[in-house]
Amino acid sequence: MWGGRFEGGPSAIMREINASIPFDKALWRQDIAASKAHVAMLGRQAIVSPEDAELIASGLDRVAAEYETSGVPENWDLEDIHMTTESRLAELIGPVAGRLHTGRSRNDQVATDFRLWVRDALDEADAGLKALQVALVTRAGEHADSIMPGFTHLQTAQPVTLGHHLMAYYEMAARDRSRFADARVRMNRSPRGAAALAGTGFPIDRAATAAALGFDGPTANSLDSVSDRDFALDYLMAASQCALHLSRLAEEFIIWASQPFGFVRLPDSLSTGSSIMPQKKNPDAAELVRGHAGRIIGCLTALMITMKGLPLAYSKDMQDDKPPVVEAAGLLTLCVAAMTGMVEATTFRTDRMRAAAELGYAPATDLADWLVRQAGIPFREAHHITGAAVKLAESRGAALDQLSIDDLKAIDARIDDRVYAALSVEASVAARVSHGGTAPGEVRKRVAEARGALGLG
Ligand code: ARG
């Protein structure tokens, strides 16, 4: 396709290093759609005759049908998906196929195709995350009252509700969706018509091809259009952040499923066994989600490093943009689906969670708060008095509310027996009614809002 000025052909090494068809064949649907939009515009603008435009469009449909049934052939001599399609088109309809490449270049072609592909990936991520949110609000609604220990430093801190804990991940997923939505708005401009780098002298209609491909309009600068891969980086940044959240959720399930915790029974469908230890049920899906986050972040790093320092406009380095994005998208889809399945089908052992919340003096803050409220003691002093009570309880292997009133009065005379009402884990969570707090009523309120936002009613 470009052999006119060459004497010899490329070496075997050149052909191999140059060929992107093994991975950019993933873009075939977008390549056909963009070519059809282009040739329709060429026909309307009388840049090619209406008959030729018609012939090319129906030829492209035939190529697409072949790809659909037999896959995209991989011929390194044809380098990439753009030349593969054009060459097959020429075989099917003859030399008129050569008119398709009027007023365009592979540089604006690949920029367009890849944007369309990434746009689909953004939409897929959004749909997956929405399903995850549905699973989270459903389980959170079931467990708005289920008490578990809340942790800081992975040390028992204060009792919380399981519903509250799950809704924390709903909020993360909401931010992830908004990041993907932002990226979509920013990327939805058509580079088609920038041609190689400088635009074209043919009277093309960029607004028409943009509209035909669902873009909000054409990009503004032809050099930027063919050299910009921000849309791919935006996607990878949002995907990395999302994968990071998923890996945190995965880690919670891994910890909760371990025998000393025993907070959950993971679904058999998302666990595996050991070939040597018959008793084992391993949280492999969660561990792989945790691991895949590393690979997804690696994909972001790879493309950032590819793009850094590239002068305007197109450089062949940019051909390496596709593998990391395609890899990350495949991994992200899997990870979102795995965590959705895990949230949906895990058995929460609320008895074990409730019992664990009793350990570790989780209501200690409630004793301190009671001293502040009922006895007018400054919080720092109340903190100190509470510390003494915890120490005494610990020496007896008892919970705080198992200390007698005489024991408590011996620590501070201002304590009276109304204090016991504040010391249960139920009272502790029920007290935390501040906006966004863990009280069951607050959790139910947020679950209801979230269900509304998801259209669940
Ligand atoms: N396969 C190329 C890529 O993915 C298409 C653009 C080639 N452009 C060029 N001037 N060689 O980047």
Alpha-helical (H) ranges within 316-424 are: 322-345, 350-358, 364-375, 379-396, 405-411, 420-423
Lowest mean pLDDT among 245-254, 264-273, 275-284, 409-418: 275-284
The burial class, CB within 10 Å (0-12 / 13-18 / 19+), for 9 is exposed
For residue 106, give the ligand 1 atom closest to its CA: 6
Ligand 1 atom 10 nearest Cα = 107
How far apart are the C-alpha atoms of 234 and 171, rounded to whole Å? 20
Query: CA of 400: how far to CAs of 73, 146, 357, 378, in Å?
Result: 72, 21, 12, 21
The reported pLDDT for the residue numbered 229 is 98
The one catalytic residue in 178, 258, 274, 404 is: 274
Whole-number Å distance, alpha carbon 111 to ligand 1 midpoint, is 9
How far apart are the C-alpha atoms of 106 and 27, rounded to whole Å? 13
Whole-number Å distance, alpha carbon 20 to ligand 1 midpoint, is 8
Ligand 1 atom 11 nearest Cα = 316
DSSP 2: -
Q: Which residues contact 353 (CB under 8 A, 6 or more apart)?
A: 146, 147, 148, 149, 162, 263
pLDDT in tens, 295-334: 999 999 999 999 999 999 999 999 999 999 999 999 999 9
Q: How confident is the model at residue 1 (pLDDT cuts 50, 70, 90)?
A: confident
User: Ligand 1: which of 75, 76, 105, 319 to mutate, most ligand atoms within 8 Å of CB?
Assistant: 319
The label of the residue with tokens 């391993």 reads: 282
The one catalytic residue in 11, 70, 153, 395 is: 153
For residue 79, give the ligand 1 atom closest to its CA: 1
State mean pLDDT over 185-193. Answer: 98
How far apart are the C-alpha atoms of 247 and 290, rounded to whole Å? 4
State mean pLDDT over 192-208. Answer: 98
Which of 27, 18, 32, 6 is closest to 75 using CA atoms?
18
pLDDT of 4 > 90? The answer is: no
The reported pLDDT for the residue numbered 300 is 98
The reported pLDDT for the residue numbered 173 is 98
Whole-number Å distance, alpha carbon 110 to ligand 1 midpoint, is 7
Ligand 1 atom 1 nearest Cα = 80
Are residues 94 and 56 in contact, defined by beta-carbon separation less than 8 angstroms? no
Residue 341's SS3 state is: helix
Ligand 1 atom 12 nearest Cα = 319
Whole-number Å distance, alpha carbon 103 to ligand 1 midpoint, is 16
Residue 34 CA from chain centroid, whole number = 27
pLDDT in tens, 400-441: 889 999 999 999 999 999 999 888 899 999 999 999 999 999
Whole-number Å distance, alpha carbon 319 to ligand 1 midpoint, is 6
For residue 114, give the ligand 1 atom closest to its CA: 4
Whole-number Å distance, alpha carbon 23 to ligand 1 midpoint, is 13
How far apart are the C-alpha atoms of 437 and 306, rounded to whole Å? 45
How far apart are the C-alpha atoms of 412 and 62, rounded to whole Å? 87
Number of DSSP helices (H) and strands (E) in the chain, helices first: 19, 4
For residue 314, give the ligand 1 atom closest to its CA: 10
Whole-number Å distance, alpha carbon 288 to ligand 1 midpoint, is 34
**Residue 435 is which amino acid?**
H
Task: Give the residues surrounding ligand 1 with Cβ less than 6 Å away.
Answer: 20, 24, 80, 106-107, 110, 314, 318-319
Which of 310, 294, 281, 308 is closest to 247 using CA atoms?
294
pLDDT in tens, 341-397: 999 999 999 999 999 998 878 888 889 999 999 989 999 999 999 999 999 999 999
User: Ligand 1: which of 15, 35, 106 to mutate, most ligand atoms within 8 Å of CB?
Assistant: 106
Q: Which residues contact 122 (CB under 8 A, 6 or more apart)?
A: 180, 183, 184, 187, 235, 238
Concatenated DSSP letters for 370-398?
HHHHHH---HHHHHHHHHHHHHHHHHHT-
Ligand 1 atom 3 nearest Cα = 319
Are residues 162 and 348 in contact, defined by beta-carbon separation less than 8 angstroms? yes
User: Ligand 1: which of 18, 24, 76, 80 to mutate, most ligand atoms within 8 Å of CB?
Assistant: 80
User: Ligand 1: which of 107, 114, 326 to mutate, most ligand atoms within 8 Å of CB?
Assistant: 107
Q: Which two tokens stand for residue 85?
A: 């399609």
* End-to-end CA, the chain: 58
pLDDT in tens, 140-173: 999 999 999 999 999 999 999 999 999 999 999 9
For residue 24, give the ligand 1 atom closest to its CA: 4
Known catalytic membership, residue 383: no
How far apart are the C-alpha atoms of 402 and 405, rounded to whole Å? 9
Are residues 200 and 103 in contact, defined by beta-carbon separation less than 8 angstroms? yes
Known catalytic membership, residue 269: no
The burial class, CB within 10 Å (0-12 / 13-18 / 19+), for 259 is exposed
Whole-number Å distance, alpha carbon 183 to ligand 1 midpoint, is 24
Ligand 1 atom 2 nearest Cα = 319
Query: CA of 24: how far to CAs of 18, 28, 66, 68, 301, in Å?
Result: 12, 8, 17, 15, 20
Ligand 1 atom 4 nearest Cα = 319
